Amino acid sequence: MSDWTLDRTFTGSSGEVRWAALGPKDAPPLVLVHGTPFSSYAWRGIARGLAQDHRVYVWDLPGYGASAQYAGQDVSLRAQAVVLTELLDHWGLEEPAVAAHDFGGCVALRARLLHGARYRRLALVDPVALAPWGSPAYRLLGGRAEVFGELPPDLHRALVTEYVGSASHRGLHPAVLDRLVDPWCTEAGQPAFYRQITQNDQRYTDEVQHRYGELDLPVLICWGTDDTWIPVARGHELAGMIPGAELRLIEGAGHLVQEDAPAELTAALTRFLRTAP
């Protein structure tokens, strides 16, 4: 599990971002965007598979994984979309393919609709895109960040472990679960965990939801049929709002499709990326 390393650094508007690139330098570019409370590690196997035919860019969003975490940091969905736009410019990518999971979907959609980012095609995996979203537990954690931030480390780790684990329908390997939880259990990581929840406000999807009909590129929507975080009905609703969008249901997968059904998701993305415009 120690072989997933983001060996490059970019300093953007929300602090230091750690990133890496896999695959041939002259291959078609593909950018992967993770969601919360995860990191690029959730994409590791799929990134390596897709790197056979693509130059795959992976990164930990500010406030997540190996990227910077600090008091006062803006890690809102608004800020993350700006950082994605900055990274595309830093990488010199004019029109890459993008695959985005969970709130990474909102990040990618905002970058496209509000900041002029251009994509060749867009895949959304169980995205945060439609109101209302955020479970009662999620809202509780965000609304009492100053209290939960003071939990003893063992209790905090137990809470985060249970929360992250609930994203999988099939259950996570203990080593994988630890790798996803560890960044939130450092001195900087504990307040960062509650900070990102506090800042993730529904207004950031409200600002773009009415504009999904403007998307004029190929869009694939993948959804785990056993997602308990965002029900599969949202996938059907979203597909109906985006012209020409394809909906691919992945049986037996929960919200963290990358872990529950990596082969099925890789196959769906591979087919979509190879399809002629």
Amino acid at 163: Y
Can you tell me the distance from the alpha carbon of 41 to that of 34, in angstroms, rounded to the nearest whole number? 9
**Locus of tokens 């990474």:** 104
List the structure tokens of 271.
């087919």
Can you tell me the distance from the alpha carbon of 133 to that of 229, in angstroms, rounded to the nearest whole number? 9
**CA neighbor of 247 nearest in space, from 215, 224, 274:** 224
- Per-residue pLDDT reduced to its tens digit, 170-223: 999 999 999 999 999 999 999 999 999 999 889 999 999 999 999 999 999 999
In this model, does residue 276 exceed pLDDT 70? no
How many Å is the Cα radius of gyration of the chain?
17
In this model, does residue 32 exceed pLDDT 50? yes
Mean pLDDT calculated for residue range 21-41: 97
User: Using omega within 30 degrees of 0 as the cis cutoff, is the peptide bond preceding 277 cis?
Assistant: no
**pLDDT class for 275, splitting at 50, 70, 90?**
confident
Give the ranges where the chain is alpha helix by DSSP (H). 44-50, 77-91, 103-115, 136-143, 145-148, 153-165, 174-181, 189-199, 203-209, 233-241, 257-260, 262-274
- Per-residue pLDDT reduced to its tens digit, 70-93: 999 999 999 999 999 999 999 999
Higher pLDDT, 13 or 142: 13
Can you tell me the distance from the alpha carbon of 185 to that of 190, in angstroms, rounded to the nearest whole number? 5
In this model, does residue 66 exceed pLDDT 50? yes
- Write down the pLDDT at residue 277: 63
Compute CA distances 254 → 55, 102, 129, 164, whole Å: 28, 12, 17, 12
- Write down the pLDDT at residue 135: 76
- Write down the pLDDT at residue 138: 80
> Please, are residues 145 and 194 in contact by the beta-carbon 8 Å criterion?
yes
